[in-house]
Amino acid sequence: MAANKSQQLDPKKTLQEIEEKFEMFQILNEEGKIVNEEANPNLSDEELVELMSRMVFTRILDQRSISLNRQGRLGFYAPTAGQEASQLASQFALEKEDFILPGYRDVPQIVWHGLPLYQAFLFSRGHFMGNQIPEDVNVFPPQIIIGAQFIQAAGVALGMQKRGKKAIAITYTGDGGSSQGDFYEGINFAGAYRSPAVFIVQNNQYAISTPRELQTSAKTIAQKGIAAGIPSVQVDGMDPLAVYVATKDARERAINGEGPSLIETVCYRFGPHTMAGDDPTRYRTSDTDSVWEKRDPLVRFRLYLEAKGIWNEAKEEEIIEKAKEEIKEAIKKADAAPKQKVTDLINIMYEENPYNLDEQLAYYTEKESK
């Protein structure tokens, strides 16, 4: 006998019930006021100042990197302004032994995790020394292939799990990356093995010029973690306190054997997708920019710290000048790196060269000696 209508499933209702569970997690509002005291991590004044200092430094680094790119002194560069809370507050919740697997916009996280700044500049220039990560720095080179880092993070996390390490693998992509097959494969693999991974999708509203709503009909990206059976949360990505808490909680669950998590940080990039010819004025309006500029993570965090009496204009100017000087020195060091040669690339490609590369090595060695 056929079931009556009241007994039938209503897929739309089920979907609505799922999506309603993903309310945006926020602690600090646009006016710099705490709106969720219970979730406040109560970081020390020193920790709050350090996090703000890193955000200010990174905003200056972004401005200077854009200028250097326009001068022809940097190669590929993806602007980061607007995403400082999403990037740096999440990294602030990590420990040194954790591994970061970044996307190409995530250079700030790996710099603050220990990668020398001059090497980040060399990476941008396509120099092999930019990918020679120091032994004690647990980061991967920025991934250019969209979403590939999610599969790699799942593998790194499984390796840590097999070795019994109390550490995690954390990776980042944008909202566009969540439309890639690698995204689903990575979170599903980690979910199946309950590996200690944290997956962060920085939803900055656009995959180059494609708005998020044209990539997926899902109300949130966070809800996609349900399919992989992993805890997921949508966070105000312009709120450094909320991003810190969400990442720290996910890390603790991971190292306690509770498996991976998916975090969607809702944010905005103030600049173009990359400096390779993207013009955001062709797909974004000034009205949209103005709305998001009011949510600037530096503005709201500055207001919060000033109200606590631990931040002022003089302190910020000090950090700005320090950033300019360190960036200047890092560029000098990058400029002093030896010119890249074909033989360099051949020598570092394999531990033991196949015969065809040995032939090429001999050819280019002779050519370079003339």
**DSSP codes joined into one string, 212-280:** HHHH---S-SGGGGGGGT--EEEEETT-HHHHHHHHHHHHHHHHTT---EEEEEE---SS-S-TTT--G
283 a catalytic residue: yes
Please report where in the chains the tokens 């990776």 appear, as a residue: 171
User: How many residues are recorded in the chain?
Assistant: 370
Nearest to 298 by CA among 240, 242, 248: 240
Q: Angle at which helices 45-70 and 240-255 pack, to 10 degrees?
A: 110
269 a catalytic residue: yes
Helix or strand or coil: residue 147? coil
Among candidate residues 54, 105, 212, 269, the one labeled active-site is 269
Please report where in the chains the tokens 């420990």 appear, as a residue: 95
User: Which token pair is 273?
Assistant: 């997708």
206 a catalytic residue: no
Among candidate residues 184, 193, 283, 364, the one labeled active-site is 283
Among candidate residues 54, 251, 273, 300, the one labeled active-site is 273
User: Which residues are designated catalytic?
Assistant: 269, 273, 283
